[in-house]
Structure 1
Amino acid sequence: DASLISDAEYDKLYHELKRIEAEHPDWVTPDSPTQRAGPKAADRFDKVRHPAPILSLANAFGADDARAWLERVTKIDDRVEKAKFVVEPKIDGLSVVLHYRDGIFAQGATRGDGEVGEDITSNLRTVRAIPLRIPVESQKSKVNDGRPSTFDLRLPDYFVIRGEAFIPIKEFEELNQKLEEAGEKTYLNPRNTAAGSLRQLDPALTASRPLTLLVYQIIHSEGGTVPTSQWEILEYLKALGFPVTDVARRFDDLESAIAYTETWDKRRDELPYEADGMVIKIDDLNLAAELGFVGKDPRGAIAFKFPAREVTTTLNDIGVAVGRTGVLTPYAMLEAVEIGGVIVERATLHNFDYIAEKDIRVGDRVLVKRAVEVIPYIIGPVVDARTGKEKTYQPPA
């Protein structure tokens, strides 16, 4: 969303607020913009038990798998035959859980094992996409984007939502460029960088990373009312000021949902973030809940995975590129291979420490990944494929 004021105006108001709060410490509130910077570094993360299980999803690796899923759940409840479906992107980031009490952001945690996560509240406060307070006008509004709403937007006294935190691809590339120009180590991929950024013990480090998030689920609420349709959940969260995906769609039948999902397999490079598939959900949340679970996987949704952009090829040699500041960066010279319709002959090796840590050798069969606009990179060697002829790499002195 576009900013309502310029960065310069924001900075001026922010510093004025800091001055006032310094003079009147008792005026500082938990939702103040100054509190996004967080407190001092922690020694460790406390554990947080989630109010409801944070579930994973079963996978579908093609249209037939999705149809088989529908057939299975229809046998459990024939109301599924008339169900509508919502399709959303499956963002490759870090799942986070946000708690709000009386409209104020009170706590944030990682997913952890689905039952217990880690308290990263101070770090999440630094993510500007997360509302620290739900605006009063959103709480009272009965209108969504100028259209009459089908639900009451009275805010629950307490509610818990789930989202995915990530670093957009463009911002990730800019971050790496700045690090390279400063002669510092660059990061390997957006997902690991986002996860590592949110698990920093010092919130100031988290604040320096270009993190954002999208939310998509209310996992628990007390008081007030929330929609019982997944599509309306997205509209509801958006109306309250949360960032939600703009590529979600609702369909009257599974075949239409599958067709839409398959278009994003071809268009995934258009997404501003890494995504490894789309999620197909039964829109009726009461029906989805009544279908129950298989292990930790809800029967009411399935992850339609995109074909992997990972392939195995041979590392013919290792070259070294010299950056504008004189920084040496190794790169892989590969036996040409096609990944996602693109011929790849070179890939980044990140840095010399990475080569040593992964024990990557010239002549190895290596696993190469290409993710959206991110430069192809080596995940690691296929150790079981070694013949004994591979050569350990010696970096330049």
Structure 2
Amino acid sequence: MTKIKDFDDYRTLVDVVKMHDYRYFGLNCPTISDEEYDTMYFALQEYEEQHADEVLPDSPTQQCYSENGNGKRTVARRTACLSMKKLHDAKAVVKYLRAQQRATNISSKGTVVDVEWKFDGETVSLVYRQGVLAEATYGHGKELFGNDCLDHIKHVQGVPSHVDVWSQYDRVEVRGEVIISLEEFARYSKAGKSPRSTSNGIMAKKVAVADECKRLEFHPFRLIMDGVTRHMSAMQALERNGFKTSGFVSALKLEKPDAELEQDIENIVCAAEVEREKLPYPTDGLVFKFDNYNYYDRIGHTDHDAKYNCAFKFRPVFKAVTTYRGHHTTVGEKTGKITYVADFDEVEMNGHLFAHANCGSERTFLQKDLTPGCKIEVSLHGDVIVCVDGKVGEEPMGFVHHPEPHVIEQDINQSQEPEAEPEPIPQPEPEPQPKPKRKRNYPQVGEPTLREKREDTSESEDKGISVKTVLAGVLAVLMAVSTGVVVLAFAGAAVFLMPMIGGLTKE
């Protein structure tokens, strides 16, 4: 096909040309001549010049490959790999799902929301061209590109290199999470502080290490393919074709009233929190996702979240008390964002050792008010992410508590006469307690400024008030005098000009 009629023809030709690119550069076995390839390539260029608003980011004519600062090649994507909204109670989940219904006018009748495990690993996108694995990128965000990991993913479990039933399709995309099982994590000698950081570290290496990549597993959570509209059937089809799906936990029907939906979600979450202890993978929650893929474009997304799904984060089960030692900062490779990391004495939670915790931005870190040597409580959220919950108690470590001073009665002098009564011992006057400092509250926009009332008024304050009063009076007098002068000037001008005007009228 060399003549492009519409966008569908253009998209199909992009897939065909990229398939020939992979055969030429990746497999070194081209199936067409250079003249045939050039004809298709020039047809793409011609269409894109006439329809600049329809150019696909992964078109062969665009800048699809580059080198980032870490030496990793970046590959263009057609759609961004976004995150999802994090929620912590059933009422919030129902409210969020109802909001998407109202915003896009989706009927509750027949609408199903699938519930599945949320694995926290490295987000990876796989692209199959005519049934052959041709592209693999990792990383999520709003950018339309990802880091190339094709050499890594070939060794990861649960990723077939060929899918025969897709041989007639020019492009099929599968998205999922690359994770490490708890058993492999325990055996891995170079394991990091958490399974998530371990899987991320293996996939981020510039050169793939086959023995390390074999410890990882790929679990899909989305299939992008022509004709596929249902999530549950799509995951079942992936499982039949050799992928390792996480399996469904349950499903919700939105035609139920809100109260019943909340109760159903509570039951699902409580059962899942018990069941996750038997899972061979680390999980930090559940995902609630609309089953119908046709709703996804209608619901839309933000720069950070895909609004057609949300995550219910499990409540922390593992907690520990340790000593805070200080902090260090890290800088994101792509965003340049500075993240504060708390350092503390190593603790064991859920069978793993932890000595650091991500505290987010500088503002979030400073709100915790941590001082070296203080006792802090840390918890393992979702068995995956360690967090600093705050200080333990009000007093930091090393604070010496001084008790209230008490008076010891003096011994009576035995040489004194028994009739004489001992002189009363003067009691020390209580020391005046310092007045607590008033916390300053900065008013928000539109709020009145609050000022502290003072109990005593000094002479200088009285003088200040009287001076203000005098100044106000002087200004009032000056304004009155100036007004009178102006009025008199106009009156004088009228008296002087009236005879002259009268004489002119007589003539």
Q: TM-score range by the shorter chain?
A: 0.5 to 0.7
Distance 1:258 1:114, change over 3 A: farther
Is the contact between residue 203 and residue 213 of structure 2 (CA under 8 Å) also seen in structure 1? no
Which residue number corresponds to residue 151 of structure 1?
none
Distance 1:294 1:350, change over 3 A: closer
For residues 238 and 301 of structure 1, the distance between their equivalents in structure 2, rounded to whole angstroms, comes to 21
Distance 1:210 1:360, change over 3 A: farther
For residues 331 and 77 of structure 1, the distance between their equivalents in structure 2, rounded to whole angstroms, comes to 50
State the shift of 1:332 in Å: 4.8
Asked whether 1:128 is paired with 2:157, we answer yes
State the shift of 1:234 in Å: 0.8
Is the contact between residue 123 and residue 206 of structure 1 (CA under 8 Å) also seen in structure 2? no
- Residues 112-157 of structure 1, C-alpha deviations (whole Å, 9 max, x = no match): 42322111111111113211111x3x45xxxxxxxxxxxxxx7522
Which residue number corresponds to residue 299 of structure 1?
307
Is the contact between residue 167 and residue 190 of structure 1 (CA under 8 Å) also seen in structure 2? yes
State the shift of 1:259 in Å: 3.2
Matched residue type, 1:237: L
State the shift of 1:240 in Å: 2.5
Distance 1:271 1:314, change over 3 A: same
Asked whether 1:264 is paired with 2:264, we answer no
Q: Secondary structure at the match of 2:98?
A: helix
State the shift of 1:62 in Å: 0.7
Asked whether 1:389 is paired with 2:398, we answer yes
Is the contact between residue 331 and residue 347 of structure 1 (CA under 8 Å) also seen in structure 2? no
For residues 110 and 93 of structure 1, the distance between their equivalents in structure 2, rounded to whole angstroms, comes to 10
Higher strand proportion, which one?
1
Q: Secondary structure at the match of 1:53?
A: coil
State the shift of 1:211 in Å: 0.5
For residues 193 and 371 of structure 2, the distance between their equivalents in structure 1, rounded to whole angstroms, comes to 15
For residues 226 and 206 of structure 1, the distance between their equivalents in structure 2, rounded to whole angstroms, comes to 37
Q: Secondary structure at the match of 1:293?
A: coil
Distance 1:245 1:348, change over 3 A: closer
Asked whether 1:118 is paired with 2:147, we answer yes
State the shift of 1:187 in Å: 2.5
Is the contact between residue 322 and residue 376 of structure 2 (CA under 8 Å) also seen in structure 1? yes
- Residues 225-280 of structure 1, C-alpha deviations (whole Å, 9 max, x = no match): 33201111112222322221123433334724553244212322122111111111
For residues 104 and 91 of structure 1, the distance between their equivalents in structure 2, rounded to whole angstroms, comes to 26
Which residue number corresponds to residue 292 of structure 2?
284
Q: Secondary structure at the match of 1:290?
A: helix
Is the contact between residue 109 and residue 119 of structure 1 (CA under 8 Å) also seen in structure 2? yes
Is the contact between residue 347 and residue 378 of structure 1 (CA under 8 Å) also seen in structure 2? no
Matched residue type, 1:369: L
Q: Secondary structure at the match of 2:280?
A: coil
For residues 371 and 63 of structure 1, the distance between their equivalents in structure 2, rounded to whole angstroms, comes to 17
For residues 69 and 240 of structure 1, the distance between their equivalents in structure 2, rounded to whole angstroms, comes to 34
| Counterpart selection for 2:134 from 101, 106, 111 | 106
For residues 386 and 108 of structure 2, the distance between their equivalents in structure 1, rounded to whole angstroms, comes to 45
Is the contact between residue 364 and residue 381 of structure 1 (CA under 8 Å) also seen in structure 2? no
For residues 228 and 149 of structure 2, the distance between their equivalents in structure 1, rounded to whole angstroms, comes to 28
For residues 125 and 310 of structure 2, the distance between their equivalents in structure 1, rounded to whole angstroms, comes to 20
Is the contact between residue 284 and residue 382 of structure 2 (CA under 8 Å) also seen in structure 1? no
- Residues 75-101 of structure 1, C-alpha deviations (whole Å, 9 max, x = no match): 224434121111111101111111111
Q: How does 1:58-97 map to 2 (within 5 A)?
A: 58-82=85-109, 83-97=111-125
| Counterpart selection for 2:193 from 188, 194, 202 | 188
Is the contact between residue 360 and residue 380 of structure 1 (CA under 8 Å) also seen in structure 2? no
Which residue number corresponds to residue 216 of structure 1?
221
Higher RCO, Cα 8 Å, sep 6+: 1
For residues 48 and 316 of structure 1, the distance between their equivalents in structure 2, rounded to whole angstroms, comes to 41
Is the contact between residue 315 and residue 333 of structure 1 (CA under 8 Å) also seen in structure 2? no
Matched residue type, 1:173: A
The root-mean-square deviation of aligned C-alpha atoms, in Å, is 3.9
So what's the TM-score if we normalise by structure 1? 0.63
Q: Secondary structure at the match of 1:81?
A: coil
Matched residue type, 1:164: E
For residues 192 and 61 of structure 1, the distance between their equivalents in structure 2, rounded to whole angstroms, comes to 24
Is the contact between residue 163 and residue 213 of structure 1 (CA under 8 Å) also seen in structure 2? yes
For residues 305 and 266 of structure 1, the distance between their equivalents in structure 2, rounded to whole angstroms, comes to 14
Q: Secondary structure at the match of 1:48?
A: strand
State the shift of 1:301 in Å: 1.4
State the shift of 1:367 in Å: 2.2
For residues 388 and 105 of structure 2, the distance between their equivalents in structure 1, rounded to whole angstroms, comes to 47
